[in-house]
C-alpha cells in the first residue's frame, strides 16, 4: 500500500510539473513539431495551445514552408517534440541542424524537460498516461 501511495505521489508531481511546462511552452514557443497525430492530440490534451506541425508525412522543405507561412516574417520560436526513441532522436538532430542553419530558433529546453518528466516513456503520445 505504501508503494502505491508513493507511486501516486510521484505521478501527481509529474502531472503538476507537466502542466507548468505546458503553460510555459504556451507563452515561450510559437510552433511545435511532432511526429504524428497521436502526438499532436496528446499535447492538445495536456493543454498546448500553439501551432503543431506533424512531420511524419512532410518533407523537410514542406515543414520549413509551413513554419514560414506561420511566421509572417517574424522570428519564430520552435520546439521539436519528436519521440525519444532512436528515430525521434535522429529527426530532432536533423531538424535542429537544418532549421538553425537557416535562422530559425530552436528551443531545446522543452524537449529536455518533457523527456525528464516522462522518465522511461519514449513516445510523446504517452503523455496521456501522465494526464
Do residues 33 and 80 lie in contact, with contact meaning Cβ atoms separated by under 8 Å?
yes
How would residue 37 be classed by pLDDT, with cut points 50, 70 and 90? Answer: very high
Name the class of domain 2-129: alpha beta
Question: What is the bridge-based pairing of β-strands 31-34 and 77-80?
Answer: parallel
Q: Where are the domains of the chain?
A: 2-129
Residues 43-100 pLDDT 10s: 999 999 999 999 998 999 999 999 988 887 677 899 999 999 999 999 999 999 999 9
pTM: 0.89
Q: How far apart are CA 119 and CA 121, in angstroms?
A: 6
Amino acid at each position: 500500500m505504501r508503494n502505491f501511495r508513493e507511486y501516486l505521489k510521484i505521478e501527481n508531481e509529474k502531472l503538476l510539473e507537466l502542466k507548468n511546462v505546458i503553460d510555459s511552452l504556451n507563452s515561450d514557443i510559437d510552433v511545435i513539431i511532432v511526429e504524428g497525430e497521436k502526438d499532436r492530440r496528446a499535447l492538445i490534451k495536456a493543454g498546448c495551445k500553439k501551432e503543431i506541425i506533424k512531420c511524419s508525412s512532410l518533407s523537410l522543405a514542406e515543414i520549413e514552408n509551413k513554419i514560414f507561412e506561420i511566421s509572417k516574417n517574424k522570428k519564430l520560436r520552435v520546439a521539436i517534440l519528436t519521440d525519444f526513441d532512436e528515430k525521434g532522436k535522429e529527426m530532432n538532430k536533423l531538424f535542429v541542424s537544418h532549421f538553425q542553419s537557416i535562422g530559425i530558433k530552436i528551443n531545446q529546453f522543452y524537449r529536455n524537460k518533457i523527456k525528464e518528466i516522462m522518465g522511461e516513456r519514449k513516445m510523446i503520445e504517452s503523455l496521456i498516461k501522465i494526464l
